[in-house]
C-alpha cells in the first residue's frame, strides 16, 4: 500500500508538471546527472573502443592497458590519443574510437612550443580550452559537476537525517527535551563554521566523506528549526490525538502520522539545499579548504580563472556552468514550492 500514491500527492505532481519551467528544469537536471554518471564514456582520455590486430578492447572501465598491448614501446598506460594517430598513420592494424572529448580530468596536455593555459580549440578538441596546467576545462567541469552534485546530495541526506529526527522529536515531545535542544542549537549556531572548516582541513586533508561530515555538523540546524515548528503544529491536530487515544506508540505516531504530513516542507526545502551545497563546496574549494588537489573542482577552476584573468575561457566556463546549474535547481525548487503550496487548497476566512 506504500506504493499507492496518495491522491493529494498525485495532485501535487500534476501541479508540478503544469509548471513548465520547473518541470523541464527537472528533466534537464536529471539528464545532467545521468550524463555525468556516464562521463567516462563521453569525456575521457581512455578510448571507448580499440580494434587492434583483430581483437576488440574496451579500455574505459577496468585496469589500465599498458602501451605494449598495442605494440607501443612502453609499460605505462596507453596514450590513446597518440595510439589513434599512430594507427591512423598506418603503423599498426586497427583503429581507435575516442570519446567526444578525448581528455580526462587529470591528463595534462603539454606542448613544446607554448605554455598553458591554452585557448579553446575545436581542432585540439579542447572545447573550453585548458587550465593553467594544461588540463581540459570541459573535462574538469564535467567531473567536477559529478563530485559537486553527489556531494550536495550526500550533504542533503546527512543534514535532513539529523535535522528531521531531532526537529521532529523536539516538536513532538516538547517540554524539557525541546528546551534543552533549543539551547544546544543556539550555541551551535554561534560557532563560526568557516573557521572550524579551516582548522580541520589544515590538520587533516578532508576526504569526500569527511567534508560531508564537517559540513553536516553545522548544516542540520536550519531544517531542525523548521521541522520542530511543523511538528508542533501537527501534534495538536485531531488525527494525532486520535492515534494517541488508540494507543499508538510514539514511534508509530511520528513515523506513520506526523512525518508523511510534513513531507511537503522537506521537499520544498530540498532543491534549495542542493543549490547551497554546490555553492558551499565550490567556495571551500575556491578558498583552498575543500577537496585536496588534483580533484577536479569548480572552486579550483574559479580560483585559477581569478588568478589568470587573461585566460577568460576558464572563468567563463566555470561561471557559465554554475549559472546553468544553480538556475536549473532554483527553477525546480520554485516549481516544487508552488506545487506543494497548501494555500491553493486552503480557504482562510
Partner 1 sequence: MNHRTVVRWLHVAMCMAALFGLWGCGEDPAPVSAPRPGAAPAPPPRANLPGGILWQTNDTDPIYASPTAVRGGTLHEALLSFPLTFRTVGPDSNSSFRSAILDNQLSLIGIHPNTERIIPELATHWAFDPDGRTMYFKLNLEARWSDGHRVTADDFAFTLDFMRSKHIVAPWYNDYYSREIEKVVVYDDHTLAVVAARPVPDLHLRIGLGPTPRHYYGTLDADFVRAYNWRIVPNTGPYQISDFEKGRRIRFKRQEHWWGDNLRYFKHRFNVDKVVYTVVRDFNLMWEHFKKGRLDTFGLNLPDYWHVKSRTEAVRRGYIERIWFFNDTQQSAQGLWLNLDRDLFRDPRLRYAFAHAMNIETVIEKVLRGDYFRLEHGFMGYGAYSHPQIRARRFDLDKVTALMTEAGWRRGRDGIWSIDGRRFAVEVTYTLEEHTPRLVVLKEEAKKAGIELTLRRLDPAASFKKVLEKKHDVAWMGWSTSLRPQYWEHFHSDNAHKPQTNNITNTDDPEMDRLIEAYRSSLDGETRARLSRRIQERIHEIGAFVPTFMVPYVRQAYWRWWRLPDPAGTRHSNNLFDPFNSATGGLFWFDAQRHHETREAMKAGRVFAPATRIDDTYKMASIR
Beta carbons within 10 angstroms of residue 161's beta carbon = 13
Name which position in 41, 42, 72, 133 contacts partner 1 (CB under 8 A): 133
Coil, helix or strand at residue 142: helix
Which among 13-21, 60-68, 269-277, 333-341 is the span making contact with partner 1, rule CB under 8 A?
Answer: 60-68
- 133 or 326, CB closer to partner 1? 133
For 22, residues 6+ apart whose C-beta sits below 8 A from its C-beta are 16, 331, 332, 333, 334, 335, 336, 338, 339
Binding part of the chain for partner 1, among 127-135, 138-146, 212-220, 258-266 by CB under 8 A, reads: 127-135
Site for partner 1 in 258-297 (CB under 8 A): 288, 292-294
Binding flag, residue 119, partner 1 (CB under 8 A): no
**Spatial distance between the Cα atoms of 143 and 11, rounded to a whole number of angstroms:** 37
Sheet with 49-52, side-by-side order of all strands = 55-57, 49-52, 94-97
Compute the CA torsion angle 318, 319, 321, 322 (nearest 10 deg). 120
Q: Does 309 contact partner 1 by CB under 8 A?
A: no
Binder among 6, 8, 18, 66 for partner 1 (CB under 8 A): 66
The Cα–Cα gap between 241 and 24 comes to 41
State yes or no: residue 74 binds partner 1 (CB under 8 A).
yes
Site track 4-43 with partner 1 (rule: CB under 8 A), x = hit: ----------------------------------------
Binding of partner 1 by 77 (CB under 8 A): yes
* Position 205 contacts partner 1 (CB under 8 A): yes
Decide: is 134 part of the binding site for partner 1 (CB under 8 A): yes
Cis peptide before 117 (omega within 30 of 0): yes
Smallest gap from residue 324 Cβ to partner 1 (A): 27
CB atoms within 10 A of CB 233: 13
Q: State which of residues 132, 182, 244, 276 lies at the interface with partner 1 (CB under 8 A).
A: 132
Helical segments of 68-174, H only? 80-88, 137-173
The span of 132-140, 215-223, 227-235, 312-320 binding partner 1 (CB under 8 A) equals 132-140
Contacts with partner 1: how many residues (CB under 8 A)? Answer: 25
Query: Is the CB of residue 332 less than 8 Å from the CB of residue 26?
Result: yes
Any contact of residue 110 with partner 1 (CB under 8 A)? yes
53: left (phi over 0), alpha (psi -120 to 50) or beta: left
- Name the minimum Å distance from CB 203 to partner 1: 6
Bond before 294 cis per omega within 30 degrees: yes
Tell whether residue 192 is a contact of partner 1 (CB under 8 A). Answer: no
Contact residues toward partner 1 (CB under 8 A) are 63-64, 66, 74-77, 106-108, 110-112, 115, 132-135, 202-203, 205, 288, 292-294
Amino acid at each position: 500500500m506504500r506504493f499507492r500514491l496518495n491522491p493529494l500527492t498525485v495532485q501535487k505532481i500534476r501541479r508540478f508538471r503544469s509548471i513548465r519551467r520547473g518541470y523541464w528544469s527537472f528533466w534537464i537536471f536529471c539528464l545532467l546527472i545521468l550524463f555525468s554518471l556516464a562521463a567516462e564514456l563521453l569525456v575521457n582520455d581512455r578510448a571507448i573502443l580499440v580494434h587492434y590486430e583483430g581483437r576488440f578492447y574496451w579500455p574505459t572501465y577496468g585496469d589500465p592497458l599498458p602501451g605494449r598491448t598495442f605494440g607501443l614501446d612502453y609499460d605505462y598506460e596507453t596514450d590513446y590519443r597518440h595510439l589513434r594517430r599512430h594507427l591512423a598513420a598506418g603503423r599498426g592494424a586497427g583503429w581507435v574510437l575516442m570519446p567526444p572529448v578525448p581528455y580526462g580530468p587529470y591528463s595534462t596536455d603539454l606542448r613544446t612550443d607554448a605554455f598553458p593555459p591554452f585557448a579553446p580549440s575545436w581542432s585540439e578538441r579542447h572545447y573550453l580550452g585548458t587550465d593553467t596546467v594544461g588540463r581540459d576545462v570541459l573535462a574538469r567541469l564535467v567531473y567536477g559537476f559529478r563530485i559537486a552534485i553527489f556531494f550536495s546530495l550526500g550533504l542533503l541526506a546527512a543534514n535532513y537525517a539529523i535535522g528531521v529526527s531531532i526537529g521532529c522529536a523536539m516538536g513532538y515531545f516538547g517540554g524539557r527535551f525541546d528546551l534543552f535542544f533549543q539551547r544546544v542549537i543556539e550555541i551551535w549556531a554561534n560557532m563560526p563554521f568557516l573557521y572550524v572548516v579551516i582548522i580541520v582541513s589544515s590538520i587533516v586533508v578532508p576526504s569526500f566523506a569527511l567534508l560531508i561530515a564537517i559540513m553536516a555538523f553545522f548544516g542540520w540546524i536550519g531544517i531542525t528549526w523548521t521541522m520542530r515548528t511543523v511538528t508542533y503544529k501537527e501534534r495538536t491536530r485531531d488525527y494525532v490525538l486520535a492515534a494517541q487515544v488508540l494507543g499508538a506508540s510514539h514511534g508509530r505516531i511520528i513515523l506513520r502520522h506526523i512525518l508523511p504530513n510534513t513531507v511537503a516542507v522537506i521537499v520544498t526545502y530540498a532543491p534549495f539545499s542542493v543549490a547551497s551545497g554546490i555553492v558551499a563546496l565550490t567556495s571551500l574549494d575556491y578558498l583552498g579548504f575543500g577537496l585536496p588537489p588534483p580533484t577536479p573542482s569548480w572552486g579550483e577552476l574559479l580560483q585559477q580563472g581569478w588568478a589568470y584573468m587573461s585566460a577568460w575561457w576558464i572563468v567563463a566556463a566555470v561561471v557559465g556552468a554554475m549559472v546553468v546549474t544553480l538556475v536549473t535547481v532554483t527553477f525546480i525548487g520554485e516549481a516544487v514550492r508552488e506545487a506543494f503550496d497548501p494555500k491553493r487548497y486552503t480557504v482562510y476566512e
